[in-house]
Amino acid sequence: MMNPQISARMAIGWMVLAMLGAALVNGFGRQLRPDFHAMQMVFFYNIFGLLAYGALACVRHLLGRRSWPLRFSLGQQKRRFMVRSLLETIGFTLFFLVMAIVPLPMLAALAFVTPLMVSVLAIIRLGERPHWQNYVALLLGSIGVIVIAQPGSGQFGLGVMLMLGASFCFANCGILIRKMMQTEHPAQITFVMLWLTALATLPCALYFWQEVALAHLPFLLGLGAAVALQQYAVTKAFTGAAITTVLPFSFLNLLFTSLLAAMLFDEIIQFWTLVGGGMILGAALLSYMRDGRVQKKPVQK
């Protein structure tokens, strides 16, 4: 549902901030990943994200903004919340495993597969009618993945496969979110995801636990702040304008991540990663443009 208080220009601004948050998540994650197991990283992502998100909710309250209806109860969507938590756990575990295998720009480019998968799953699970744009988008996105992976090189095959698995998990989460938003506030959905997934990953995190040094704390706090920024800003963007308006700006995630990777980790984006990422984003945009036209078409009586 659109928020009339947010203009299209403001929504685009929020999307830019969301992509900055996503890039910072990649940057802080890459900095921390060598010292911690992937399961411990998933726990850190959620627990520090939860702390930052809670702090953001308190700031909104102190500023006199309308308070978010946050509660620890799972409400009417208990089963979907639990399934989403499982999918988030698997998806982010794969995500942080990939982070140790492929360069950050490639990681950001492959992340564009997720919205494309959401569109495909909407046809399968939500009964949405496919159109030729959906088939073209699927073909274009698949070619984009092949362009990025460069199968002949044999360099990043495992990382690409794991990232596709993570994207599949996140895409299923997207379908669940669509259903949960019928009864739940977006802030509540994010809040439950963070605390429930933190709780779910705690046993495995403790099993693989590596000591946290004081030097890690700024990066962990930065990771939490980036998670909160990304979650909050993307919600504001998608409730302020049509998906087809803000989705093209998700390419900034690749730009911001590439800049961070070059400045901090000496990882330079490859030409074919840029081309393949553009193809995948174009495929996702084509599919969502079709979705937008279907939603705006008046119902014939």
Is a pLDDT exceeding 60 seen at residue 155? no
pLDDT of residue 235: 79
Record the pTM. Answer: 0.83
**For 252-266, what is each residue's pLDDT tens digit?**
788 888 888 888 888
Alpha-carbon distances of 258 from 53, 91, 109, 139, 251, rounded to whole Å: 26, 22, 10, 26, 11
Whether the Cβ atoms of residue 178 and residue 20 lie closer than 8 Å to each other: no
Is a pLDDT exceeding 70 seen at residue 287? no
Alpha-carbon distances of 7 from 139, 187, 261, rounded to whole Å: 34, 20, 33
**For 176-207, what is each residue's pLDDT tens digit?**
887 887 788 888 888 999 999 999 999 999 99
pLDDT of residue 95: 94
- When computed from its CA atoms, the radius of gyration of the chain, rounded to whole angstroms, is 19
Is a pLDDT exceeding 90 seen at residue 24? yes
Whether the Cβ atoms of residue 115 and residue 184 lie closer than 8 Å to each other: no
Q: Which residue has the higher pLDDT, 61 or 248?
A: 61
Is a pLDDT exceeding 70 seen at residue 157? yes
Whether the Cβ atoms of residue 264 and residue 31 lie closer than 8 Å to each other: yes
- Mean per-residue pLDDT for 153-162? 72
Whether the Cβ atoms of residue 26 and residue 257 lie closer than 8 Å to each other: yes
Which range is least confidently modeled, 35-39, 66-70, 232-236, 284-288?
A: 284-288
Average pLDDT, the chain: 81
Q: Which residue has the higher pLDDT, 104 or 217?
A: 217
Portion of the chain with pLDDT greater than 70, in percent: 82
- Mean per-residue pLDDT for 44-72? 86
- Mean per-residue pLDDT for 114-120? 75
